Structure 1
Amino acid sequence: MQQKKLSGVLFGVLIVLLVLYTAVAYNSLVAKEEKMEQMWAEVQNTYQRRLDLTPNLVNTVKGISGFEQETLTKIAEARSKALSVSVTEINADTYKQQTQVQDELAMYTNRLIATVERYPVLKGTDAYRGLQTQLEGNERRIKVARADFNAAVADYNQAVRSFPKNIVAKIFGFKEKQGFQADAGADKNVEIKF
């Protein structure tokens, strides 16, 4: 009789420990998922900063008579595409789409800056130099934000795949996520150079 009572107590303690572990594991997965989403929001924030700075650069350059209109048109088109991409869910397809339009905008902005090199009057203005500095800094921010996002995705994925937390992850629907992956040929840097 006493052994049955002891078995019942041990079973009860085991159930309580299992429930506690499940709660802790669930909360840990939620925290990691939130961190990953926060890092993605930071990537989006730096992309938005790029979108906000680009019109200022274009307006500064427009003042030059005879400036190549095609370059300005391409930047406007690339910016418009980047503005039209809305990312509501973090997955490989949406991340790739967002990255492609942002990289296209960076490429055309880079071309604009390279073209401006032929206009020493503009190159010497304080407004242009200030925009150059801001754009260069923003490209660095984008690299850091992407790296932080990838680190958060890796941490989340490790938790989702690790035993025994993977059991809790499956029960509650936590799935692996994909971070930033460079496209073929991405080793050709599109960073804006000054």
Structure 2
Amino acid sequence: MKNGFKILIGLILVLVILVMPAIGGYNKLVSLEQTVNTSEANIDTQLQRRSDLIPSLVNTVKGYATQEKDIFTDIANARSKLAGASNVSERAAADGELSNSLSRLLVVVENYPDLKSNQNFSDLSIQLEGTENRIAVSRQDYNTAVTQYNTKRRRFPTNITASLFGFQERPLYKASEGANEVPIVDFSS
């Protein structure tokens, strides 16, 4: 009886020693995954803020620059794509299109000095610039959270726990193709 009891206690100790890292790894993955989800939601919040500001900015500029219809159409189309995006990659692509269109809009503004002195435009521009900064910070926070999560997910012994419970690798938020290029605005046509 004593030997059987010692063996049982030994087996329980070995089991506890093996299970504790799995439980800790699982709990850490859950925490990191929630941080990633929160960071992704923060990007969406800032993108929505920008999307909400754009109609006011566009309408203000439209009053001064009625002949620049293509830019307004591009902004509206990019904004629609952003609203319909369902994952990080689609949001990044739509966000890149919207950023390019907004850059073109701001170049148009340079050609209308009276517009720049309009208080409504000035206020909206400041809010939009602040929002762009918030979006950049949110993207950085998201990528940091994803890197921490993906790193933990791949490390031993957590990688075993991750595969057992279906924790999938998360994609980093990447700029859309061509986002590093300066948009071309041509008023000659």
Do they fold alike, i.e. is TM over 0.5?
yes
Is 1:38–2:38 an aligned residue pair?
yes
Distance 2:175 2:63 in 1: 37
- Structure 1: distance between partners of 2:71 and 2:168: 43
Instruction: Supply the AA of the counterpart residue of 1:48.
Output: Q
2 CA distance for matches of 1:66 and 1:175?
A: 49
Q: Which runs of 5+ in 2 are unaligned?
A: 184-189
Separation in structure 1 between the aligned mates of residue 44 and residue 50 of structure 2, nearest angstrom? 10
Corresponding letter in the other structure for 1:111: R
Secondary structure of 1:187's counterpart equals coil
Counterpart of 2:186 in structure 1 is none
Superposition TM-score, scaled by structure 1 size: 0.85
**Which residue is 1:168 aligned to?**
161
Question: Take 1:110 and 1:186, find their aligned partners in 2: how far apart are those partners?
Answer: 11
Give the drift of 1:184. Answer: 4.7
Distance 1:113-1:96 versus aligned 2 partners, 3 A rule: same
RMSD: 1.9
Return the offset for 1:3: 4.0
Identity score, percent: 38
Structure-2 separation of matches of 1:65 and 1:151: 41
Structure 1: stretches of 5+ with no match in the other structure: 88-93
Alpha-carbon separation, structure 1, partners of 2:178 and 2:73: 25
Match of 1:51 in 2: 51
1:128 aligns to 2:121 (yes or no): yes
CA contact (8 A) 2:78 2:97 kept: yes
* Inter-partner Cα distance in structure 1 for 2:178 and 2:63: 35
Report the secondary structure of 2:64's partner residue.
coil
One-letter code aligned to 1:126: Q
Q: In the TM superposition, what is the alpha-carbon distance from 1:104 to its structure 2 partner?
A: 0.8
How does the TM-score come out when normalised to structure 2? 0.87
Match of 2:8 in 1: 8
| Count of residues paired in the alignment | 183
